[in-house]
A and B are shown apart, each in its own frame.
Chain A
């Protein structure tokens, strides 16, 4: 099992709230990713990072932002949550060709 952690696992929050989804890995990987996944649909890349102080937007337009101040930590922030942000958010890190996923955060915005 990969050493990549996400908190919280489940979050129900009201519209307009600011939230931060946490992701940490202890494998020392430089590359980290955030994906969004809706039920029965494919994963969509929303942010990625090559290393400390490197962040890029992915293929799916997202109103979230990320930061990479430390190698092991890659948090995702939503400044003002909306019902359209309801989804599962998966964090991953990679070394060479292998990508390791965290358990995900199930976000529901009411």
Chain B
């Protein structure tokens, strides 16, 4: 069964600290892995997209890693800011369908305190 599991479910950190969010998936055949940021009451916004051949990708203070062998990904946030408080969703796309089916994790709810 194709699944995406994220941990931790929630996380509280102090402003300025770093954190790492985890994503494990069983989706096959794999096409790409995305990390989205979803602010409360808003739609998700893409942070990074990684294909099979990419093992790291950065977008400002966000760095995503991918280990396609172990089917694991992480999102590292450096020097956190209050505006980083949001849900971070890991999404894996398969290449077994014309639609490019997406499998969503439940997200990690990050809270950054001053």
Asked whether, in the complex, the Cβ of A104 is within 8 Å of the Cβ of B41, the reply is yes
Asked whether, in the complex, the Cβ of B43 is within 8 Å of the Cβ of A102, the reply is yes
Asked whether, in the complex, the Cβ of B105 is within 8 Å of the Cβ of A42, the reply is yes
- Given A41-B106, A42-B106, A101 and B100 touching (CB < 8 A)? no
Asked whether, in the complex, the Cβ of A99 is within 8 Å of the Cβ of B46, the reply is yes
A4 and B34 alpha carbons, distance in the complex (Å)? 20
Asked whether, in the complex, the Cβ of B106 is within 8 Å of the Cβ of A98, the reply is no
- Given A103-B42, A103-B43, A104-B41, A97 and B106 touching (CB < 8 A)? no
Residue among A4, A41, A43, A103 facing the most chain B CB atoms (10 A cut-off): A43
Task: Please classify how large the interface on chain B is, using the bins under 10, 10 to 19, 20 to 34, 35 or more.
Answer: 20 to 34
Chain A 12-46 interface mask (CB, 8 Å, partner B; 1/0): 00000000000000000001000000001111110
Q: Could you jot down 12 A-B contacts, CB within 8 Å?
A: A31-B99, A40-B106, A42-B4, A42-B106, A45-B102, A97-B32, A97-B49, A98-B46, A98-B49, A99-B34, A102-B43, A103-B43
Give the interface of B toward A (CB within 8 A): 4, 9, 31-32, 34, 41-46, 49, 89, 93, 99-100, 102, 104-107, 109
